[in-house]
A and B are shown apart, each in its own frame.
Chain A
């Protein structure tokens, strides 16, 4: 079945450091890929998405590129801020299973000043 594997957390970085959170997936067909962010005490917010191979999603300085050959969708940011501290979820959705999102387990990110 479809699945998403995320980098184990928690991840702790200093402000202005470079961030990478790895995400790989297994899916039938050609999934859409998403990164969601959950700030403390809040629901999930869509951070960025990509719907076909080689697409790059970007938002708020975060980027992720849909790599079909490596089945990956790694999240990157060049210079993190304390306000980026949150839990990040990688997820996929397929045409066949478009009624649902398949989530990774989440990666907790803490940025220290």
Chain B
């Protein structure tokens, strides 16, 4: 039982480059989310999805795109990386409405130089 799997674990990008952070879950969870973690700020929601084909913006969506073509996968795309996007990114999933808690992946540490 893998839970939530994120790849890669570490990435260094140059300003202006694009990339996709991968997230997959094998628990048949409907709800999936992307968060970024910055020092002293807790975690902030970037985008979320309540099911295949349905996505919406969270608190800090600018510079990121998502899509949800399958229940299992929820990739996060950085369109043109900026140093302000240096952060640790976490994907999370939940059964039902998320009212009972989320399962988190182990994170992707991204540095933009």
Contact = CB atoms under 8 A, between A and B. Distances in A.
A45 B101 contact: no
Interface string B40-70: 1111110010100000101100000000000
Give the size category of B's interface with A.
20 to 34
Give the size category of A's interface with B.
20 to 34
A103 B43 contact: yes
A101 B98 contact: yes
A45 B104 contact: yes
Interface in A84-113: 89, 93-95, 98-101, 103-106
Contacts of B98: 93, 98-101
Contacts of A44: 43, 90, 92, 104
A104 B42 contact: yes
Contacts of B100: 32, 49, 51
B45 A100 contact: yes
